[in-house]
Amino acid sequence: MQGIMNNLVRATVLLAIVASLSTVARAESSAATKAMSMKSADAAGMGMDSMSMRATETKSIAPIVVGKPTRIEVKPEMILFATPMQYMNIVVSGFYADGRVQDLTRVATLATADARVARIQEGIVLPVGDGKTSVTVSVGDFKASIPVETVGHGKPEQVSFLNSVQAALTKQGCNQGACHGSPSGKGGFRLSLRAYDPVLDIETLVREAYTRRIDLMDPAGSLLLLKPLMEVAHGGGRRIKKDDYSYGMLRDWIAQGAKVDADGAATCVKIEVYPKNREYLRPAHVQQLLVLGHYSDGSVRDITKLADYLSSDEAVATVDPDGFVVSRERGETTVLVRYLDKMETTALTFLENVPGFQWSNPPESNFIDKFVFEKLKRLQIAPSEVCNDEEFVRRVYLDVIGRLPTIAETEAFLTNKASEKRSLLIEQLLASDEFPSFWALKWADLLRVRKTKISEPGVHKFHHWIEQAVRENMPYDEFARRLVTASGSTLSNPAANFYRTSADVNDCTETASQLFLGVRIQCAKCHNHPFERWTQDNYYGIAAFFQRVQRKKTTDADDLVVWTARTGETTQPRTGKTMKPWAPLKGELDLPGEDDRRDAFAAWLTDPNNPFFAKVEVNRIWGHLTGRGIIEPVDDFRESNPAAHPALLEALAKDFVAHGYDRKHVMRTILNSRTYQLSSRRNEFNKDDVKYFSHSKTRMLSAEQLLDAICQVTGVPEKYAGLPAGTRAVELPSPDVDNYFLKVFGQPARETACACERAGESNLSQALQMINGPLVHGKIKDEKNRARVLAASGKSHSDVIKELYLAAFCRVPSAPELKAALDHIAKSGDAQRGLEDVCWAILNTNEFLFQH
Amino acid sequence: MQVACRYLCLAVASVMFVSSAGAADTPAKSQAKSEAKPAAKAEAKPAAKAETKPAAAAATSKPAATTSAAKPTPVAAAKPTGTAKPVSFKADIAPLLVKNCLACHGASDAKGDYQLHTFTAFSKPGSSGLAPVTAGKPGDSEVLRLLTSEDSEERMPKDGDPLTKDQIALVTRWINEGAKYDAADAKADLVSIVPRKPHPNPPEAYRAAVPVTALAFSPDGKELAIGGYYEITIWNTADGKLLRRIKDVEQRTFGLAYSADGKLLAAAGGTPGVSGEAALYDPAKGTVVRRLGTMADVALGCSFSPDGKQIAFCSADRSIRTYDVASGKESLLIEDHADWVMTIAWSADGAKLVSGARDKTSKVFDAKTGDSLTTYPGHSETVLSAVFAPDGKTVLSGGADKKIHVWNPADGKQSATIAGFGGEVYRVQIVDNEIWSCSADKTAKRHKLADRALIQSLTGHADYVFSLAVHPGTKRLATGGFDGEVKLWDTATNKPILSFRAAPGLTIAAAK
């Protein structure tokens, strides 16, 4: 495929465009974005290495060489077996003189001093009888001793339904959302999502359908086991093996009568993961995790085999069901460990000495570069060079004011000799009149400015309010406070539309959480969040702040009056409890009876110590400017979705707060950083990086940017019904203008407050729109088309082509490009048609379609 | 327009180009699968196998070592390939298909637009359009290709262990020998053509009490038939002593019914998720009179027609079937419900059938034609039991919604509901103008048919009451529970008079 594409690229400009467009058509997330070549002519020269997908093949696990550790560390430090079913894995770490650490679990040998108390089986310590002894761990020349005590060994022990069976069903994926955990179950068998409702589950497992699922006479013959074993055909496929620990738990539980836990049986109060955060340097590349459950009876049990694991970056490292981590390539990952409703994370960094890598010591423009480069250096990823002026001018115009620079603006910048010209341009754009409308668009998306929600006059008023806030650079805390505490007529106080688009208390809870805390809390409405700590109680605790918001219609159908009642409490639907207002990390709030609770929420929200508020906004700005949030998606903050660069995010947020929540200040800082200004061309040492900002991220223009750019390059503006001529797509107050092109390219319908509503993926419809759609076709054929007008004015074809290149790419064509275009015009016989083809071809290049 | 056409051609070319390149990528993914394990299917499960293991052993992550040891390979696969006897579709191939393929390509599901619940369906190409089987040409048989593919993404059974070498050899030989169908009707369900094997023996002594899911009084009231584990047990109603054990019965029995003359005992049962069976036994001799039919999942209920000439069964395979009692021939197959059919009963005149299903509906059918006459959609959960009132003008249906609904079979209109249950209502019967029911609230209840007033709630069971039978002649009520307890009650006093666990050989210690 690459070879053929190369030939195509070389063949003619036209074909090159088609080839590259086909890539757009199949574009999927980062892999395809990576594959985008920038300049059609350069592409051949650059080689198509960037086409190769991220390496997916596994580096095999290398043998662990003990070497010469200076000390070893064993975990746990002591073992107390309080019931016969307990067991304990021992994790062994070696520390070396050069500061390295390595997991030696798999090469350590274990022995017990008294086999009547404890024994070793396949690296696991098991109780044998009451008494005290110790386990000796030997690795290399080192020995460590772990005291062991066994008590109450003779007592019979039931397999715990809650602690073992529910965990096993969760670990094997039986009760996940796509399977039996979906609200309607699968195949008539429904479990609660990730076991949040044990009362329902035991009923379903044991008694539903006349005990169909279990066989007390032949436990191993239970349908509950035969199905996931695929011994009886199972729509969900193979889910368990007979030698899985979970299998033994399920079977033994059935053998013991499939009973509920006795009243007062121990429950898990917290889990602990070892090691907690660690950095490795190859050859160290594996880690056996140890997960300990702390129970209400004081016992500490090994639950490594019952917990389930999720690696935040599987390309960096994978975790198997036994908690064994294997690194695949250098980078960082956070392992999320879940056991029933408990979760913990551990951040693991895998470093590697990359042959030939040398740190180039690039200059740092500001603190952003310090953080980014420090990490790149550690991960041995070389940042790209700084982008050239042509790339910069195009990039910064698109990012800051949402449009391409005019030819005059481009030329002015390119010919400017001032050394500070980039900073000057940044200042000029931040102060420009087009800045507010472009950034208002982003917030209008999130605030759901749409006729159906807030009426047509409401759209204009609210949009204007947002735009004005950007124009006067309203501090972000002020902006949020005004929205959250707004009351009155939505027409006279447009900020009150916040409570019009969020039409009920749940919507308010979810929108406020999403926008200002970066938390997608919707899941917790019906059950505890499956990937995060957020519980159902938290959801209704936040809801309590908004419970009293009331909405009243007026005689004017376009208006709505928002006010707050003096009473009104929130009830948690599952428990029936009345919820006090609750704020993350602050807990329950005791608020005076008749106060508007929203004031308290706003005060908590905008408190400089609020760990979420500032971060979410700087992350959102960072995401807009670089194409990828430090946390991505930008409004999905959770432990299982760690920041690519927590320190950088922290620093940006601190700087933001210190500068009075000045959003322009944040933008200025980012735009002036070398990191922002890096080229999108990758080098040998950063070609696989997609998350550490070692190069600029190529990304397709947004729907509005693209449409405006097409209009600008062709010189044929688009008309929108009911709006003044000359209105640009980025200035549209709402998506109510029915523009098919914008929709196809991902303009959101503003149904939710989620940033994800703006679709980032490319699709075939887009390709067809660009290739053959009426909008593009019409603009190319229009008699006011730039190429036509220029040609009619007597300019040479060569000059016309140069202007087109400048307008679309902010650069002049290379000699081969110019020649290819001129040749095509000559061959086509009809010069006008030939020029139209070239114009079409330009619009269909990745270099035009993408921000780079 | 010309311009447009030019562009379009280019676009099409580029799209095709991409798709072919995409296809070329896939083989790289394929990985040779690790060694095939023999498909260990216990055909004769030793039911009373000592199962409790030292708990600590389970912690060693090798919990299954003792249980899965050395099970016999299936008869079909063990057959040496060199023998002269040709491969039989129904005896050798169909069992493989039923066991390995039916879940995703059965009557109710058609992954890849392909089904194989019947031979006709099995022979029809799926979405690939390729012939599943070409007689004499294993190389042109898509089924065989998918069973043996090296690409784990496409190898069937998806996510399951591959078939063993012997099994593959068997399929190959069957195709080579002409891929012949050796059963009568190519449209018959595969499960029905597979030659039956005798059911395993019941346990000598029960290791646990099994839930009592079916009960029936003999017409004279002297005996009580109870569904056991691979057996039906017959008990003396006078003293609660075990009289006989009927063997060669499906794993579980969910419905029992005596013929009016007491000479036949019908049983609806099966092995959950695996098979179902409709059978007639001689309750006096304890022998099988006739096996009427098999199903892909358990049979859940059975009922003799008022004249005793027909018997109806309902099943978790979503079907209702009626059979001619004298000849054993299937007289009607009704596939109208969208989910398990939990219950089936006749109208007093024998003209209609009423069913209840997990699709939350109760339906009335013409018992001659099988036409659906009325659908009652009033239940919000599974309908577990439904019966006609003697006058035929009312149906009473009990369900998981903890209610008995009273409705008109002519138009499906509800006239009343009976609430007051603390759990699912498993059985509803009408005897002598009284409504008898049992529920997960651990009670059996008597209501007046006329005004639906509660007469008595019979308490005493310690767990869910799954089954119930009334014998008006001897004034006896029998109830059976989840915990295996059977109670006999005197309906004159509503007091329990006998209680036992229908689990021969069960010791008290094991019951606890």
State the 10-residue block means of pLDDT for chain B, 512 residues long: 39 34 36 38 39 39 38 41 76 88 78 89 90 92 92 82 90 93 88 86 94 98 97 97 96 98 98 95 96 94 98 97 96 96 98 98 97 97 97 97 98 96 98 97 97 97 97 97 97 96 79 48
Q: Are strands A850-851 and B215-217 parallel, antiparallel or unpaired?
A: unpaired
What DSSP element (H or E) covers A599?
helix A597-605
B101: chain A residues, CB-CB within 8 Å: 233
Tokens 């009580």 correspond to: B224
Residue pair B321/B367 in contact (Cβ under 8 Å)? The answer is no
Q: How far is B474 from chain A (nearest CA, A)?
A: 28
For residue B319, count other CB atoms closer than 10 A to its CB.
Answer: 24
Task: Report the alpha-carbon distance of residue A761 to residue A371 in Å, rounded.
Answer: 30
What are residue A711's DSSP bridge partners?
none
Residue pair A722/A737 in contact (Cβ under 8 Å)? The answer is yes
For domain A71-155+266-328+331-351, give the fold: Immunoglobulin-like (2.60.40)
Burial class (CB in 10 A: 0-12, 13-18, 19+), A409: middle
Q: How many Å separate Cα B325 from the centre of its chain?
A: 21
Among the partner-chain residues A25, A211, A231, the one whose CB lies closest to the CB of B41 is A231
Residue pair A371/A360 in contact (Cβ under 8 Å)? The answer is no
pLDDT of residue B38: 40
CA distances from B220 to A435, B50, B184, B469, B474 (A): 94, 39, 41, 13, 8
B104: chain A residues, CB-CB within 8 Å: 233, 235
Which residue ranges does chain A devote to CATH 2.60.40.1080?
71-155+266-328+331-351
CB of A782 within 8 Å of a chain B CB? The answer is no
B11: chain A residues, CB-CB within 8 Å: 18, 21, 767-768, 771-772
Domain boundaries, chain B: 71-193, 215-511
Burial class (CB in 10 A: 0-12, 13-18, 19+), A390: middle
Q: Are strands B275-282 and B465-471 parallel, antiparallel or unpaired?
A: unpaired
Task: Report the alpha-carbon distance of residue A27 to residue A24 in Å, rounded.
Answer: 5
Identify the CA nearest to B85 among candidates B99, B96, B74, B75.
B75
For residue A612, count other CB atoms closer than 10 A to its CB.
Answer: 17
Task: Report the alpha-carbon distance of residue A838 to residue B479 in Å, rounded.
Answer: 87
Using the beta-carbon criterion (under 8 Å), do A218 and B47 form an inter-chain contact? yes
Residue pair A677/A389 in contact (Cβ under 8 Å)? The answer is no
Among the partner-chain residues B51, B251, B273, the one whose CB lies closest to the CB of A227 is B273
Q: How far is B422 from chain A (nearest CA, A)?
A: 14
Helices and strands in chain A, H and E counts: 33, 29
A245: chain B residues, CB-CB within 8 Å: 58-59, 61, 63
List, as own/partner pairs, every contact residues B150-155 make where C-beta atoms lie below 8 angstroms and the sequence separation is at least 24, other chains included.
B150/B30, B150/B32, B150/B33, B151/B26, B151/B27, B151/B29, B151/B30, B152/B30, B152/B31, B152/B33, B153/B26, B153/B29, B153/B30, B155/B33
CB of A779 within 8 Å of a chain B CB? The answer is no
pLDDT of residue B83: 54
Strand blocks (E) in A543-654: 549-553, 560-564, 570-571, 578-579, 582-583, 587-588
Residue pair A619/A640 in contact (Cβ under 8 Å)? The answer is no
CA distances from B114 to A81, B110, B413 (A): 54, 5, 40
Tell me the backbone φ, ψ of residue A81, rounded to 5 degrees.
-95, 110
Q: How far is B81 from chain A (nearest CA, A)?
A: 24
Using the beta-carbon criterion (under 8 Å), do B100 and A22 form an inter-chain contact? no
What are residue A93's DSSP bridge partners?
A73, A103
For residue A819, give both structure tokens: 């020649």
User: What secondary structure does DSSP assign to A761-773, as a single string?
Assistant: ---HHHHHHHHH-
What DSSP element (H or E) covers A650?
helix A646-658
Q: What is the pLDDT of residues A466-488, one digit of tens each?
A: 999 999 999 999 999 999 999 99
Below-50 pLDDT ranges, chain A: 1-59
B272: chain A residues, CB-CB within 8 Å: 209, 212-213, 223
User: What secondary structure does DSSP assign to A555-577, as a single string?
Assistant: SSTT-EEEEE-S---EE-TTT-P
pLDDT of residue A60: 59
For residue B80, count other CB atoms closer than 10 A to its CB.
Answer: 8
Residue pair A282/A326 in contact (Cβ under 8 Å)? The answer is no
pLDDT of residue B508: 59
Q: Give the percent of chain A with pLDDT over 90.
A: 76
Mutate to test the interface with A, among B3, B5, B14, B463 (most CBs of A within 10 A): B14
Q: Are strands A570-571 and A578-579 parallel, antiparallel or unpaired?
A: antiparallel
What are residue A641's DSSP bridge partners?
A638
B211: chain A residues, CB-CB within 8 Å: 210-211
Using the beta-carbon criterion (under 8 Å), do A238 and B440 form an inter-chain contact? no
DSSP category for residue A147: E
C-alpha dihedral, B180 to B186 to B191 to B193, nearest 10°: -60
Among the partner-chain residues B47, B60, B340, the one whose CB lies closest to the CB of A121 is B60
CB of A54 within 8 Å of a chain B CB? The answer is no
Instruction: Evaluate the CA torsion angle A262, A266, A270, A275 in order and state its sign.
Output: negative
A768: chain B residues, CB-CB within 8 Å: 11
Burial class (CB in 10 A: 0-12, 13-18, 19+), A758: middle
Peptide linkage before B409 cis (omega within 30 of 0): no
CATH class of the domain at B215-511? mainly beta
Using the beta-carbon criterion (under 8 Å), do B55 and A252 form an inter-chain contact? yes
Using the beta-carbon criterion (under 8 Å), do B272 and A212 form an inter-chain contact? yes
Residue B374 CB contacts under 8 Å (≥ 6 apart), including other chains: B363, B364, B409, B410, B411, B412
Task: Report the alpha-carbon distance of residue A709 to residue A729 in Å, rounded.
Answer: 10
CB of A188 within 8 Å of a chain B CB? The answer is yes
Q: How far is B451 from chain A (nearest CA, A)?
A: 31
Among the partner-chain residues B52, B56, B254, the one whose CB lies closest to the CB of A84 is B56
pLDDT of residue B84: 65
What are residue B497's DSSP bridge partners?
none
Amino acid at A812: V
Task: Report the alpha-carbon distance of residue B429 to residue B436 in Å, rounded.
Answer: 5
A218: chain B residues, CB-CB within 8 Å: 45, 47, 49, 51
Q: What is the pTM of this model?
A: 0.76
Mutate to test the interface with A, among B1, B15, B213, B442 (most CBs of A within 10 A): B15
Identify the CA nearest to A509 among candidates A481, A540, A531, A485.
A540
CA distances from A790 to A408, A414, A718 (A): 16, 22, 20
Task: Report the alpha-carbon distance of residue B503 to residue B231 in Å, rounded.
Answer: 10
For residue A574, count other CB atoms closer than 10 A to its CB.
Answer: 14
Task: Report the alpha-carbon distance of residue B105 to residue A233 in Å, rounded.
Answer: 10
pLDDT of residue B65: 37
For residue A372, give both structure tokens: 């980014």
Task: Report the alpha-carbon distance of residue B479 to residue B470 in Å, rounded.
Answer: 9
State the count of interchain CB pairs (< 8 A) between A and B. Answer: 186
Q: Are strands A300-302 and A308-311 parallel, antiparallel or unpaired?
A: unpaired
